[in-house]
Structure 1
Amino acid sequence: MNVRYFAAARAAAGVEEERFDLPPGSTVEALLAAVLDVERPEPPAGTPGLARILARSSFLLNEVAVRDRSVVLSEGDMVDVLPPFAGG
């Protein structure tokens, strides 16, 4: 599974995109747990930690909004992390 980070999530993760190899039947929640298990440098000053950002973010699964974190993922799925955006 691939994860793409946008805006503050990208800053907190320290990368634009990551790949995770999880067992069949893994859920969005399991993927997010794997994301948080990665050891990362401190985010830039003023950027919340990744755990805080993920708690407030929206997610797209293969470009479709997903709110249920128990959704099962398939090999090759793309999950986008969209933190709250300010502005208009």
Structure 2
Amino acid sequence: MQVRYFAAAKAATGVEAEQLPAPETLGALLRLLGARHSASASDSAPALPDLLPNCSFLHNGVAVRRGEIPLSDSDTVDVLPPFAGG
């Protein structure tokens, strides 16, 4: 599956996107991402585990809120931290 990072999540991970084997659910993916990126790749960004509770997520372009959403290897999940500005 593809995971794409935006704004502060991109700064925290140091990558725009990564390919991973799909875990069973969105909740499992979030736990995996927190473990993979436990330290920030940037001095100016918080670590990803600190950002994830405030992030929004898109699953194949659709906003999701439940961790039980099933995932497959062909899916794309976007990690969207809160954005400022207008």
TM-score calculated relative to the size of structure 1: 0.87
Larger mean CA deviation between 70-79 and 32-41 belongs to 32-41
**In structure 1, what is the equivalent of residue 12 of structure 2?**
12
Contact map agreement 2:37 2:48 (CA 8 A) in 1:
no
**In structure 2, what is the equivalent of residue 58 of structure 1?**
56
> How far apart in 1 are the matches of 2:8 and 2:25?
23
**In structure 2, what is the equivalent of residue 86 of structure 1?**
84
Is there any run of 5+ residues in structure 1 with no aligned partner, and where? none
Q: Identity rate of aligned residues, in percent?
A: 50
Contact map agreement 1:14 1:40 (CA 8 A) in 2:
no
- CA displacement at 1:39 relative to structure 2: 5.2
- CA displacement at 1:45 relative to structure 2: 2.5
Two-structure CA RMSD over aligned residues (Å)? 1.6
TM-score calculated relative to the size of structure 2: 0.89
Name the count of aligned residue pairs.
86
